Amino acid sequence: MLRFLSPSRFPRPPIIDECNTMSAIVIKSHGAVDVLEYDEKWPCPKPRNDNSQVIIDIIAAGVNPVDVKMRKNIISNIVYPKPKIIGSDFSGIVINAPKTGEFKVGDKVYGMLPLLGSPFGSYCGRCCIDPEILAKAPTTITMIEAASLPLVSCTVIQALKPVIEQYNGNCKGKKVFISCGSGGVGVIAIQYCAKVLQMNVTTTASTRNFDLLYSLGASTCIDYHTNKIEEVIKDFDVFFDTMGYNNEKLVLNKNYSILRNDIVTHYIRIASSPYNSNEKDFLHLAIPEARVDRVATGFMKQFYHNIFSKIKYHFVFVVPNKLHLEEMTNHVNNGLVKCVIQEKMKLVDARRAHTILEDGHVTGKLVLVVNDHIDS
Ligand SMILES: NC(=O)c1ccc[n+]([C@@H]2O[C@H](COP(=O)([O-])OP(=O)(O)OC[C@H]3O[C@@H](n4cnc5c(N)ncnc54)[C@H](OP(=O)(O)O)[C@@H]3O)[C@@H](O)[C@H]2O)c1
């Protein structure tokens, strides 16, 4: 619960730079994909007076499901001041930084802007960010690829941290099931579990994606169109779930033995919801998984299971984290993790990107290229 209330979730927003403009994708109200407006002369952000933030010219912005969900839902107006530049993930080049800090002009960096509270986002030409949540980008991939990594990398590392602790850092050979293996989270989770932690990975996807997922390190791929997980997944050590709304009841039902019942096991629920959810009610804070009752229930289940059950329950809401970005930089530079990008598009194509993502079948990530004349 305390991690959910982390300060890096609530940014110190930059202020408007009256002198400079940039291209940006802006929403002035919630709604369908056509609320995304391309503006070539939107005011840039600049750091607050204390000059503690790094200013970055953005090269590319990763597209995440949370961008789509925040765009669509009415109550996001409370947590998202409008008009708002949408987006969180970015890669870019430092153009100004605090004099005494670790970042210098010209550094190639990547990061995840906090999701709440700021009118600025990453689908644009420039951002300002606290150095405490920024990291140097990997050097072995393009900056367009780097933009696909921050949010999903932080999610995967944060989700698996308690599992790694439980096994005293040695997860080798443990059996992990990862749902939605070909999605943005899945392709990183598979590589992190298989290549970094040396776990034995089983995943679900459409058959057309199997070759890709085997190449990323999966040992077994199961087509979710023709199989039921409760019939084919038995006696696992860890269940990494991006579809808790479908799977949680099955996993926690001991009759199915999806998780082993002779030792401590882990159910990791990444807070999530289907794209086509049309829920609208007073508890519906911004996106269905962020409903206050669901967040509270999630943390209560975590508390209950961690004391009374052999199935340890982990409820995950990603938060920007510099150490986790730096860890991913190392894994990429060491060749353990690679990026999977279905398509890179121009910033002006943001509506098309959201339309494709909402369909729910992107393989890996979509990335918006903002400044392709900068070295990428
Ligand atoms: N709480 C957090 O901190 C957090 C962080 C990150 C993401 N999330 C949430 O996690 C969810 C997944 O994120 P994502 O970025 O991975 O989404 P995504 O990239 O849109 O996932 C698309 C993938 O899902 C697969 N898929 C669709 N239906 C499936 C099913 N029934 N069984 C198995 N796979 C299925 C598709 O596979 P095929 O194309 O092969 O059919 C596609 O590759 C989203 O709801 C997102 O909001 C939460």
* pLDDT tens digit sequence for 104-132: 999 999 999 988 778 899 999 999 999 99
> Is the distance from the beta carbon of residue 357 to the nearest atom of ligand 1 less than 6 Å?
yes
Tell me the residue type at 213. L
Q: Whose CA is nearest to atom 33 of ligand 1?
A: 180
Q: Whose CA is nearest to atom 34 of ligand 1?
A: 180
Provide the pLDDT for residue 185: 98
Measured in Å, residue 157 CA sits from the centre of ligand 1 at 17
* pLDDT tens digit sequence for 299-314: 777 777 777 678 999 9
Measured in Å, residue 41 CA sits from the centre of ligand 1 at 34
> Is the distance from the beta carbon of residue 66 to the nearest atom of ligand 1 less than 6 Å?
yes
Atom number in ligand 1 closest to CA 179: 33
d(CA 331, CA 3): 24
Read off φ and ψ for residue 270, nearest 5 degrees: -75, 115
Question: What pTM did the predictor assign?
Answer: 0.93
> Is the distance from the beta carbon of residue 112 to the nearest atom of ligand 1 less than 6 Å?
no
* CA 95 from centroid of its chain's CA atoms: 26
Q: Whose CA is nearest to atom 45 of ligand 1?
A: 272
Measured in Å, residue 17 CA sits from the centre of ligand 1 at 36
Provide the pLDDT for residue 278: 60
d(CA 72, CA 267): 29
Q: Are 238 and 268 in contact (CB under 8 A)?
A: yes
Read off φ and ψ for residue 155, nearest 5 degrees: -60, -50
> Is the distance from the beta carbon of residue 242 to the nearest atom of ligand 1 less than 6 Å?
yes
Number of neighbours of residue 181 by Cβ within 10 angstroms: 29
d(CA 311, CA 251): 10
Provide the pLDDT for residue 164: 97
Domains annotated for the chain, with CATH where assigned, are: 2-148+341-369 (3.90.180.10), 151-316 (3.40.50.720)
d(CA 332, CA 157): 14
Q: Whose CA is nearest to atom 21 of ligand 1?
A: 183
Average pLDDT rounded to a whole number, residues 163-169: 95
**pLDDT confidence of 4, banded at 50, 70, 90?**
low
Considering only CA atoms, which of 258, 264, 267, 269 is closest in space to residue 298?
Answer: 269
Q: What is the mean pLDDT of the chain?
A: 90
> Is the distance from the beta carbon of residue 203 to the nearest atom of ligand 1 less than 6 Å?
no
Name the more confident of 278 and 154.
154
